[in-house]
Amino acid sequence: MLLHKLWLAGVILGASQSALGLKLPHSLLALQNVFSLQQALCPHYSSLSSHELPIDLGQYSGEIVARLDYSNDHQLKKALMGRSIFKFKKWGKNNVLQTMDVQLHPDTLQDMAHQFPNMKYEVIIDDLAQKVYETYPQHWASSKLNPTRMNVFSELFFKEYRPLETINAWLNILQETFPNQIKLETIGYTHENRPLQVVHFSTEADPDHSDKRTVVITGGIHAREWISVSSVLYSIYELLQYYSANPDSSILSRLDFLFIPVFNPDGYEYTWSSDRLWRKNRQETVNPNCLGIDIDHSFDFHWTRSSDWECGEEYSGEKPFEALESKVWDEYLNATNENHNIYGFIDLHSYSQEVLYPYAYSCANQPRDEENLIELAYGISKTIRQESGKNYNVMPACVDKDADLIPDLGAGSSLDFMYHNKAYRAYQLKLRDSGSHGFLLPGKYIEPVGKEIFAGIKYFCIFILGDD
C-alpha cells in the first residue's frame, strides 16, 4: 500500500525514473526528453527580451568570478577576509588549497594583481550574467505565463531548481499523500510575512516523542545556496523511499526528523524575483539604505557584532536574534522543548565540499567529545565519497570561517548555537561544487548531490543510534 502511494506521489511530485526505480509513463518520458534538449540548447540571455528573463541580468553584466590563490601571501589573505579597499564579493574558498573565489569587475582584478604582484589567479566564470541565467528553469517563460503548467509538469520536480511557491505546493502534496508520516507546521513568520515551515517526519504514533531522538536538518539559511534547499527536499523524499523499503528500520522507529528546507524564505524568494546572488534575509536594518541580516551571524552564542557594515553580506544586525528567522526558531525550540529530544543537527550550505564541526566562533575552545565529533565527520565524508566519488574535506568550522584571523567572522552561527544549546552532534555541510560553478551549480546536479547527502545523513543517523 505504501509503495503504491509512494509511486503515485512520485509521479505527482516529480521523482525521477531512477530515483523511484520504476518506469515513468511513456508520455512523461517524452516530456523529459523535450526538457533535456531545451537545456542543451540554452540561448544566450542577451538574445532574449526582458519578459523572457526571470530577473534583470544586466545587473551582473561585465562581472566575472576569479579564483585567487593566497597561499603565499598573508597580506592578500587579510585583504580578502576583512574589509578591503577593493570592491569584490566573497564567494567560496578552498581551505586546503588556500584559494578564494571572488565576484568582481575585471578592472578590479587587474588592480589587485598590481597591488599583489605575486598573486596567482584564474577566471572561473567569465560571463556571470549568462551563468546566473542558466540556473533558472529553462521553461521559465512559459511557466511564468501559466503557473499551473508547473504542476502539470511536476514529474520533473528534481530536474530543476524550484521557486518557493512550487516548493510549498510540493510539501502540501507530500503531507496529503503521507498524513501519517509528514506534518507541516508553520512556526512563525518572516519580515515579509512569509511562513517559516518545519516538516516533521515521524513514523510511529508517539505523541510524547519520549523515547525518540530528534534529528534536525536545515537548508537555505543563505538565500543563493539553492542546492542546500533542493538537498533537504531530496532527503525528505529519499527518507520516504527508505521507509517504504525498510518499514521496521531503527532509523525511523527510534528517530524523529525536523526538516526546514527554506530557513530564509524572504531571501530565497528574492533570489527568484530580483537578485540570484542575494545571501541575507530581507528585513530592515539600522541603515535605511540597507536591507538584510545574515541569519547565520544572528544566533545568540558568542554573538559579536560583525565588522561588516549594514549593506555587507555578513552583517550580523545590532543584537543577537535580530534576524527574525533565528528568533522564531529559538522560540519554537524553547516552546517545544519537551516534545523534542533534539540530538542531531545538520545545516546545509554551499559551496566547497566540506564537513565542518564546531566551533565556528573560535579555534581556541575545544568542543566536548571532540574525538567522536571528528570521527563522525570523517564517517560522513567517507560515506559521501563511497556514494559519488566526491571528496568532502573535514575541518573545524572556525578554520573555514577564519575566526582566528578575524574573530567576528565565525560568531553567531546556527551551528554553534545548536551544538551548544540543543544538539549533541552538530555539523555544517558545504555542498558541491569545488570546481567552476560555485553558487551557480546547474540543476542537473540536484539529484546526484541529493543522493550523496542523503547517504551522509543516513550514516549520521546510524552513528547517533549507536551513541548511549
How many CA atoms does the CB half-sphere of 375 hold within 13 Å?
A: 7
**Residue in 159, 213, 349, 401 binding Zn ion, rule: CB under 5 A:** 349
Region near Zn ion per CB under 5 A, out of 107-115, 184-192, 214-222, 315-323:
214-222
Binding track, positions 224-263, relative to Zn ion; x by CB under 5 A: -x--------------------------------------
How far, in Å, are 160, 263, 335, 426 from residue 197 at the CA level?
A: 22, 8, 16, 21
Minimum CB distance to Zn ion, residue 231 (Å): 13
Minimum CB distance to Zn ion, residue 309 (Å): 19
Binding track, positions 297-336, relative to Zn ion; x by CB under 5 A: ----------------------------------------
**Residue in 194, 222, 401, 420 binding Zn ion, rule: CB under 5 A:** 222
Smaller CB separation from Zn ion, 226 or 303: 226
For residue 445, give the C-alpha cell.
Answer: 546536479
Rule CB under 5 A: say whether 401 interacts with Zn ion.
no
Smaller CB separation from Zn ion, 155 or 296: 296
How many chain residues interact with Zn ion (CB under 5 A)?
A: 3
Rule CB under 5 A: say whether 280 interacts with Zn ion.
no
- Can you name the residues that pair with 100 across neighbouring β-strands? 68, 93
How far, in Å, are 24, 94, 220, 356, 392 from residue 350 at the CA level?
A: 31, 12, 9, 12, 12
Burial label for 454, CB within 10 Å (0-12, 13-18, 19+), is buried
Region near Zn ion per CB under 5 A, out of 79-87, 229-237, 246-254, 347-355:
347-355
Minimum CB distance to Zn ion, residue 277 (Å): 12
SS3 category, 54? coil
Smaller CB separation from Zn ion, 77 or 349: 349
SS3 category, 142? helix
Residue 234 has a CB neighbour count (10 Å cut-off) of: 25
Smaller CB separation from Zn ion, 225 or 269: 225
Region near Zn ion per CB under 5 A, out of 17-25, 88-96, 188-196, 216-224:
216-224
Smaller CB separation from Zn ion, 99 or 352: 352
Phi and psi at 383, nearest 5°, equal -60, -40
CA dist 130 and 110 (Å) reads 22
Q: At what angle do helices 226-245 and 164-177 cross, to 10 degrees?
A: 10
Interacting residues toward Zn ion by CB under 5 A: 222, 225, 349
